[in-house]
C-alpha cells in the first residue's frame, strides 16, 4: 500500500471515528438541554408539540398520549423541542383547551422557568455526572512529585531534583499539587522548610519562593509565590519547545521529537513556551511513559509525558465531597468561559482561538481515545459550556428570551413584535457571524498544517 493510500485510509478512519463520536456526544448533551425545557413545560401544564433528536426530515418517531411527537431526524447534530403557543397567534383562534396548554398564556414566572430549565438541566447533569465519576472511578490527584525544575528558580537554587517527592512545607503535610500551589501562593520571598523524599532518604531543604506574574481568567495581571517546579500533568506540547540542550528546534516538530526520543530517561534542558513566558526547564522524561512519541496516530503523539498523569492516580470521594467537586468544576468552567468571552470583547484575546465543529470534534475524538473517564469528564464540561452559552443575552438563545422576560417584568408588558423582530435579526446575523468565524479558524488551522 502506498503512503498516499495509507494516509487516505487513516483519514477516512479518523473521519468516521471523530465524526460519529462528536455527533453522539453533541446530540446527547443537547438532548439533556431540551429535556430540561420539556420536563419543566410538562410540570407547568404547557404542551410540547415536537421533541426531535436531530434536524431535518424525520426518520422515525411516535406520538405520545399528550400529543407530543417524538422523532429522530436524519441530521444528528443536536435537536430541539417545540413548545406549543410560544407566542400569541394573530391569524389563528385557539380554543379554551388549547389556550390552557399554550406557553404564551402562562405567567411570566412560569415562562421564565421553562426557558431557564434547559441550561439548568445542563448544569445539573454535569454536577451529577462528575460526582458519580468521583465516587466510582475517583477524582484525579496530582501527586507531590517534582517532574521538572525551572533553571534559576527558587527550587533550582535550593537544590531540588526531578522525582523528589515533597512531603511537608513548614511542617504541614502536602498531599497533592493543588495544596502545594495554594500553600506557596501567598509566601513569595519568605523562607520555607521543605521536607522531601529522594529515593530512600528524607531530607529537609530550605527554599525561597519567587514571584510569578500571570493573568487571571479575565486577563487581569496578578501574581503569586512559586517555587519553579513542574508537577504531574497531562504533559508538555512538544510544539511549544523552542530549544533542547541549546539546539534550536523552533517550527521543526520532527527534529524536536527525534531529539527528545534520543534523550528519554536522561536529564536535559528545554526552553519551553511560545504564547506564555518562555522558560528553561530541567526535565528527565521516562521512556516507559512516552511510547506515544513513536505512534503517529496516537492523540498524544505531540505530548511529552514527564511523570504519571493525574488521571492515572485517583482518589474515590464520598457523596458530599463528590457533589461539591462537581459544583466546583462547574463554577471553574463557567468562570473560564466567561473570562475568555470578556477577553475577546475587550481585545486582549484573539478571536482566532474560537473553534468550530472540526476543533470540537477533534477534541472529542482525542478525549475518547484516552479512555471512558476522560470522555465522561469532557461531556460534563461540554454540557456546562452549552448551558452557560445559552444564557448569554442573545436572541435565538435562552438568554435572549430571558432578557425579553426581564424587559417585560420591568415594563409591565412584553416588547412589541416589531422590536423583537429587529433584535432577532441583529442576533441572527451576529450568531451566524460567530459560527462562520469559528469554522473559518478551523479551516485556516487545517490548511496551515499542510
Poorest-pLDDT segment among 183-192, 408-417, 430-439: 430-439
Q: Is residue 370 within 8 Å of residue 378, measured between CB atoms?
A: no
Cell of 101: 396548554
Q: Is the pLDDT of residue 44 over 90?
A: yes
pLDDT digits over 88-116, tens only? 666 567 888 888 899 989 999 999 999 99
Q: Is the pLDDT of residue 129 over 90?
A: yes
Q: Is the pLDDT of residue 251 over 90?
A: no
Query: What's residue 75's pLDDT?
Result: 84
Q: Is the pLDDT of residue 52 over 60?
A: yes
Poorest-pLDDT segment among 61-75, 305-319, 431-445: 431-445
pLDDT digits over 13-32, tens only? 555 566 777 888 888 999 99
d(CA 100, CA 105): 7
Cell of 155: 527550587
How many Å is the Cα radius of gyration of the chain? 26
pLDDT digits over 54-89, tens only? 888 999 999 998 889 999 998 887 889 999 988 766
d(CA 77, CA 74): 9
d(CA 283, CA 197): 18
SS3 176: coil
Residues whose CB falls within 8 Å of the CB of residue 419, separated by 6 or more in sequence, listed in order: none
List beta partners, residue 229.
149
CA 157 to chain centre: 36
d(CA 252, CA 241): 10
Cell of 94: 385557539
What would the mean pLDDT of 282-310 be, rounded to a whole number?
88
Residues whose CB falls within 8 Å of the CB of residue 334, separated by 6 or more in sequence, listed in order: 384, 388
DSSP string, 162-175: TT-EEEEETTEE--
In which band, very low, low, confident or very high, does the pLDDT at 364 lie, cut at 50, 70 and 90?
Answer: low
Q: Which of 33-37, 135-139, 366-370, 445-449 has the highest mean pLDDT?
A: 33-37
CA dihedral 410, 411, 413, 418 (to 10 degrees): -110
SS3 445: helix
φ and ψ of 256, to 5 deg: -55, -50
Q: Is the pLDDT of residue 12 over 50?
A: no
d(CA 44, CA 115): 12
Query: Sheet of 247-248: strands edge to edge?
Result: 229-230, 148-150, 279-283, 268-272, 241-244, 247-248
Q: Which residues of 9-35 are buried (b: 16+ CB within 10 A; e: fewer)?
A: eeeeeeeeebeebbbebbbbbbbbbbb
Query: What's residue 6's pLDDT?
Result: 44
φ and ψ of 255, to 5 deg: -60, -40
d(CA 423, CA 184): 50
In which band, very low, low, confident or very high, does the pLDDT at 156 lie, cut at 50, 70 and 90?
Answer: very high
* Residue, of 397 and 435, whose pLDDT is higher: 397
Q: Is the pLDDT of residue 8 over 50?
A: no
Q: Is residue 244 within 8 Å of residue 260, measured between CB atoms?
A: yes
In which band, very low, low, confident or very high, does the pLDDT at 125 lie, cut at 50, 70 and 90?
Answer: very high
Query: What's residue 311's pLDDT?
Result: 62
In which band, very low, low, confident or very high, does the pLDDT at 342 lie, cut at 50, 70 and 90?
Answer: confident
* HSE, side-chain direction, 13 A CA sphere, residue 278: 11
Q: Is the pLDDT of residue 285 over 80?
A: yes
d(CA 289, CA 283): 14
Report which of 54, 91, 96, 48 is spatially closest to residue 73, judged by C-alpha positions. 54
Q: Which residue has the cell 481585545?
A: 347
d(CA 79, CA 53): 4
Q: Is residue 272 within 8 Å of residue 244, measured between CB atoms?
A: no
In which band, very low, low, confident or very high, does the pLDDT at 415 lie, cut at 50, 70 and 90?
Answer: confident
Q: Is residue 363 within 8 Å of residue 385, measured between CB atoms?
A: no
Mean pLDDT of the chain: 84
In which band, very low, low, confident or very high, does the pLDDT at 10 lie, cut at 50, 70 and 90?
Answer: very low
pLDDT digits over 160-208, tens only? 999 899 999 999 999 888 889 899 999 988 999 999 999 899 999 999 9
What would the mean pLDDT of 334-340 be, rounded to a whole number?
83
Amino acid at each position: 500500500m502506498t503512503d498516499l493510500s495509507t494516509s487516505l485510509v487513516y483519514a477516512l478512519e479518523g473521519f468516521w471515528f471523530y465524526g460519529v463520536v462528536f455527533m453522539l456526544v453533541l446530540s446527547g448533551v443537547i438532548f439533556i438541554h431540551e429535556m430540561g425545557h420539556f420536563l419543566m413545560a410538562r410540570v407547568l401544564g404547557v404542551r410540547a408539540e415536537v421533541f426531535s433528536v436531530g434536524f431535518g426530515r424525520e426518520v422515525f418517531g411516535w406520538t405520545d398520549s399528550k400529543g407530543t411527537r417524538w422523532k429522530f431526524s436524519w441530521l444528528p447534530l443536536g435537536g430541539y423541542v417545540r413548545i406549543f403557543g410560544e407566542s400569541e397567534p394573530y391569524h389563528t383562534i385557539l380554543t379554551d383547551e388549547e389556550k390552557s396548554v399554550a406557553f404564551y398564556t402562562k405567567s411570566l414566572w412560569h415562562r421564565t422557568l421553562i426557558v431557564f430549565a434547559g441550561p439548568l438541566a445542563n448544569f445539573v447533569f454535569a454536577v451529577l455526572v462528575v460526582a458519580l465519576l468521583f465516587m466510582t472511578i475517583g477524582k484525579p490527584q496530582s501527586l507531590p512529585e517534582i517532574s521538572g525544575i525551572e533553571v534559576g528558580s527558587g527550587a533550582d537554587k535550593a537544590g531540588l531534583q526531578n522525582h523528589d517527592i515533597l512531603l511537608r512545607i513548614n511542617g504541614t503535610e502536602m498531599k497533592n499539587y493543588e495544596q502545594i500551589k495554594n500553600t506557596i501562593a501567598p509566601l513569595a520571598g519568605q523562607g520555607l522548610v521543605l521536607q522531601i523524599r529522594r529515593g530512600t532518604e528524607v531530607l529537609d531543604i530550605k527554599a525561597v519562593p519567587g514571584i510569578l506574574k500571570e493573568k487571571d481568567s479575565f486577563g487581569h495581571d496578578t501574581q503569586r509565590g512559586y517555587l519553579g517546579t513542574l508537577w504531574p500533568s497531562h504533559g508538555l506540547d512538544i510544539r511549544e519547545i523552542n530549544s533542547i540542550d541549546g539546539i534550536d528546534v523552533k517550527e521543526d516538530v520532527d527534529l524536536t521529537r527525534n531529539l527528545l526520543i534520543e534523550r528519554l530517561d536522561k536529564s536535559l534542558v528545554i526552553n519551553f513556551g511560545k504564547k506564555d513566558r518562555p522558560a528553561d526547564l530541567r526535565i528527565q522524561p521516562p521512556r516507559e511513559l512516552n511510547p506515544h512519541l513513536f505512534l503517529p496516530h496516537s492523540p498524544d503523539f505531540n505530548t511529552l509525558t514527564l511523570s504519571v498523569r493525574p488521571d492515572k492516580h485517583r482518589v474515590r470521594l464520598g457523596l458530599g465531597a463528590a457533589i461539591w467537586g462537581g459544583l466546583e468544576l462547574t463554577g471553574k468552567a463557567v468562570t473560564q468561559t466567561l473570562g475568555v468571552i470578556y477577553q475577546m470583547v475587550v481585545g486582549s484575546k484573539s478571536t482566532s482561538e474560537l473553534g468550530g465543529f472540526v476543533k470540537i470534534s477533534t477534541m472529542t475524538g482525542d478525549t475518547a481515545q484516552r479512555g471512558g473517564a476522560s470522555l465522561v469528564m469532557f461531556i460534563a464540561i461540554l454540557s456546562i459550556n452549552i448551558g452557560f452559552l445559552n444564557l448569554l443575552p442573545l436572541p435565538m438563545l435562552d438568554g435572549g428570551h430571558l432578557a425579553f422576560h426581564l424587559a417585560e417584568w420591568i415594563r409591565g408588558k412584553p416588547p412589541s413584535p416589531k422590536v423583537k423582530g429587529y433584535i432577532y435579526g441583529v442576533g441572527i446575523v451576529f450568531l451566524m457571524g460567530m459560527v462562520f468565524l469559528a469554522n473559518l479558524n478551523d479551516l485556516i488551522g487545517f490548511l496551515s498544517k499542510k
